[in-house]
């Protein structure tokens, strides 16, 4: 959603944008954006492809829940107290980006949800040289009969 919105805003503004940063509080989503969509289940993969097409995945950064203005409402903050962080974000965001207080996020997650599971089953058989000498066609037949690959 944010990728499409930013694209429309940039088009309407008609000014040159040199850098654009996207913030997300979900380490799972950030991991998906760093993953080849072919390795993800279809529902997630379709959304990741759309986001990757609209944005540069290297411009996606993690924001911790303490600094995320979107989390204020879910914590029950009243509308009268939303005036500061809600409109301008955390204080450090107005600093040069090399001084930003980035939330620790490790791109390498051991288990990423919604990954496709692939099982490969193989069987090997030993054949004498005579079996292989019958010709290339017979060799392909041997391989087809004795090699199985299953993807789930």
* Whole-number Å distance between alpha carbons of 25 and 61: 8
Q: 3-state SS string over the chain? A: CHHHHHHHHHHHHCCCCCCCCEEECCHHHHHHHCCCHHHECHHHHHHHHHHHHHCCHHHEEECCHHHCCCHHHHCCCCHHHCCCHHHHCCHHHHCCHHHCCCCCCCCCCCCCCCECCECCCCCCCCCCHHHHHCCHHHHHHHHHHHCCCCEC
Instruction: Output the pLDDT for position 151.
Output: 47
Q: What is the mean pLDDT of each run of 10 residues along the chain (152 residues)?
A: 75 83 88 90 93 80 85 80 78 88 66 73 59 56 60 44
* Whole-number Å distance between alpha carbons of 108 and 118: 20
Q: What is the pTM for the complete model shown?
A: 0.64
Longest dimension (CA), the chain: 86
Q: What separation in angstroms does the CA of 135 have from each of 116, 129, 142?
A: 38, 11, 11
């Amino acid at each position: 959603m944010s990728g499409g919105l930013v694209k429309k805003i940039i088009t309407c503004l008609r000014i040159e944008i040199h850098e654009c940063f996207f913030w997300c509080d979900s380490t799972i989503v950030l991991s998906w954006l760093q993953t080849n969509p072919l390795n993800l289940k279809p529902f997630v993969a379709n959304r990741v492809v759309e986001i990757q097409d609209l944005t540069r995945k290297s411009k996606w950064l993690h924001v911790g829940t303490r600094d995320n203005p979107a989390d204020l409402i879910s914590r029950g903050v009243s509308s009268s107290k939303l005036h500061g962080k809600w409109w301008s974000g955390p204080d450090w965001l107005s600093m040069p980006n090399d001084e930003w207080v980035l939330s620790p996020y490790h791109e390498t997650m051991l288990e990423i949800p919604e990954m496709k599971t692939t099982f490969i089953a193989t069987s090997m058989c030993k054949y004498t040289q005579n079996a292989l000498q019958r010709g290339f066609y017979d060799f392909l037949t041997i391989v087809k009969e004795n090699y199985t690959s299953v993807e789930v």
